Amino acid sequence: MCGIVGFTGNHNVVYDIVLGLTSLQHRGQDAAGIVTFKDYFHLKKGLGLVSQVFEERHFKRLQGNIGLGHVRYTTQGSNDLQNAQPFSANYPFGVAMVHNGNVTNFKELRNKLYHDYHILPETSNDLELILYVFASELIKKDLKDIQPADIFEAVKATQQIVKGAYSVIAVIANHGLLAFTDPHGIRPLVLGRQDSKEGSLYGFASESACFDYLGYELVRDLEAGEIIYIDNNLRLHTSDGYRLEKAFCIFEHIYFAREDSIIQQRLVAAERVKMGRMLANKVKAAGLQPDIVIDVPTSGYFAASGLAEALGIPYRRGFVKNSFIGRSFISPTQKEREEVVKKKLNPIKAVVKGKRVAVVDDSIVRGTTSKRIVKMLRNAGATEVYFISAAPPITNPCVYGIDMAISTELIASSKTHEEICNYIGSDALVYQTIEDLQQLYKTLPCCYACFTGKYPVEDSDKLLSEIEQERMEAKA
Q: Rg of the chain's alpha carbons, rounded to an integer?
A: 23
Interatomic CA distance for residues 275 and 310, integer angstroms: 11
Q: Which is nearer to ligand SF4, 165 or 179 (CB)?
A: 165
Phi first, then psi, for residue 138 (nearest 5°) are: -70, -30
Q: What is the DSSP string of 149-212?
A: HHHHHHHHHHHHH--EEEEEEEEETTTEEEEEE-TT--S--EEEEEEETTEEEEEEESSTHHHH
Reported as half-sphere exposure (CB side, CA atoms, 13 A), residue 280 has a value of 17
Q: Could you list the residues that contact ligand SF4 (CB under 6 A)?
A: 186, 249-251, 398, 400, 402, 447-450
* C-alpha distances out from residue 322 to 37, 325, 326, 346, Å: 38, 6, 9, 8
Shortest Cβ 449–ligand SF4 spacing (Å): 4
* The pairing of beta strand 266-267 with beta strand 262-263: antiparallel
Q: Would you call 2 a catalytic residue per the annotation?
A: yes
CB of 43 to ligand SF4, least distance (A): 30
Shortest reach from residue 432's CB to ligand SF4, in Å: 13
Computed from CA positions of residues 133, 137, 143, 146, in that sequence, does the dihedral angle turn out positive or negative?
Answer: negative
**Set 2, 398, 446, 450: catalytic member:** 2
- The alpha carbon of 34 is separated from its chain's Cα centroid by a whole number of angstroms, namely 18
Nearer to ligand SF4, 50 or 165 (CB): 165
CB of 241 to ligand SF4, least distance (A): 19
- CA-based max dimension of the chain: 75
What residues act catalytically? 2
